[in-house]
A and B are shown apart, each in its own frame.
Chain A
Amino acid sequence: MKRGKQIVIFLLVLLFCGGYAFWRSGLHLSPEAAMAAEEQGLRYGPSNKILLTYEKENGSQVLVGRWEKGLSVVGVEPKWGIFWKSTDLINGNMHCLFMEEPVEAFLTEENYIVGLCELPEATEVTCKLYVYDEVEKASVFVKELTMEIGEDGFFYGETSLPVEASTEYGYTVEHVEAKGKSGETIFIKGADV
């Protein structure tokens, strides 16, 4: 067989094997595709709209998406310059925010508060963060953050939080209050109600 023909056959074999390896590798051509693969692996979604993307110090990204029943937060990282792969999350439950109430919010691992408000008349949301303190043996208030409600009812805010040994259980959003244009409370739930 001519060398040229053999080269074509080699290329076809490499294409097939390379394609198979890529298919099985968990690599994707975009951050959104990597996110969808993670979501479907966890058996929800996938998100039909990305509402927020932020970068972490190590170059990976965190995508916040809107899916049928709430919000989804998935970390993705670049691989070899052109591919993307979902990163391992410490707590799988941090992926999903279910809309059990008209306003819901939670804190991501990178200290972003993200949430959804399904009340069209609400214009801003105040969230209060608490943390379980081993010394106090109780949840203690840490800080509050007020955020504007944007398109699609999505709101978010970045916050810095102290890391202390007695609070290693992590911070949680335990109070949510939505207000209207005139500052009136439209919805409230949580620790200070």
Chain B
Amino acid sequence: MREPWERYLNDVVSHVRFAFDRRKIRQELAEHMEDLYEDLLSQDIDEKQAAELTVDYMGDSEELGKELDKAHHPVLGYVWLILGILCIVVAAKTAFGLLDTGIGIAKGYFAEVYPASASEVVYTISPDVEKQVYDYTLYIDKIVYYEDGRMEVDYATWRNPFSRDEYWTFEIRAFPYVGETQCYNGEGSYKDGRYYGKGQIKLRDVPEEADRLEIRANADLGNGWGEPIEISLTEGRVMAE
């Protein structure tokens, strides 16, 4: 009984030039024919006759096929198919890229910074300093001075992820002073983290009477940094208990 239906459907879809739509068209037509058949059966028509009438009611297969071919034009079809595939690939790549950026930022944010010394803390300063240098923002988070003369400067940098500037590392150096005398040659620190990263400068043999710290850019070719950051080591101290 179904054989005439199969022949009819094959004949219709053979006129649809965009081959990728043929299966879907065939399925839709088959469902429509099934509905028509059930409807005829409900009118107490016998199965054989209902099946023949179903095919008749669907109309001329060539005419229907050509109408469907117009609606599923191959040029539009191939444009749709190629753009659709490209879209999936490109969107997936973009999504992974955004995810990678997000993971990078999160890694930098949650990175741990360890104490620079095992000896007792003398004082801590939270300078709350922020400086903009082109597409970087530098944050000086904390300065800790230890009994053994070590000093740590904890900092973070944030680079605009949408910046069009070329990526070059951002490195700073810290110089402690007693009055106008620089009492240490300065120590630098390199930190990873293309967008958000935490770093620490470790200084040694810093005298207790050191009263200010200068933070300068290392390897800043063009002095885009401007004036160094000066942080008082006597104000805002929180002495350790």
Chain A residues packing against B (C-beta within 8 Å)? 3-4, 6-7, 10-11, 13-14, 16-18, 20-21, 23-24, 26, 28, 37-45, 67, 69, 72, 86, 92-93, 95-96
Contact = CB atoms under 8 A, between A and B. Distances in A.
Contact of B84 (A4, A6, A45): A6
Nearest to B82: A10
Interface residues of B, number: 31
A37 B162 CA distance: 12
Interface string B211-241: 0000001011111110000000000000000
B217 A43 contact: yes
* A-B residue pairs, 10 tightest by C-beta: A44-B222, A41-B166, A43-B224, A10-B83, A41-B165, A40-B165, A17-B94, A17-B90, A10-B87, A96-B221
Contacts of B217: 43
- Best-surrounded residue of B80, B162, B165, B222 (most CB of chain A within 10 A): B222
Given A17-B91, A23-B162, A43-B217, A11 B83 contact: yes
Contacts of A6: 80, 84
A44 B90 contact: no
B221 A92 contact: yes
Contact of A67 (B84, B97, B136, B222): B222
B168 A41 contact: yes
B210 to A, nearest CB: 28
Contact of A37 (B80, B133, B166): B166
Nearest to A39: B222
B86 interface: yes
B113 interface: no
A41 B219 CA distance: 12
Nearest to A3: B80
B165 A37 contact: yes
A193 to B, nearest CB: 27
B222 A45 contact: yes
B118 interface: no
Interface string B162-206: 101111100000000000000000000000000000000000000
B165 A21 contact: no
A38 B223 CA distance: 15
B70 interface: no
B16 to A, nearest CB: 14
A120 to B, nearest CB: 25
Given A7-B79, A39-B222, A42-B224, 18 more contacts: A7-B80, A13-B90, A13-B91, A17-B93, A21-B90, A21-B93, A23-B162, A24-B97, A26-B166, A37-B164, A40-B135, A41-B134, A41-B135, A41-B165, A43-B134, A43-B221, A45-B222, A96-B222
A14 B166 contact: no
Contacts of A39: 222
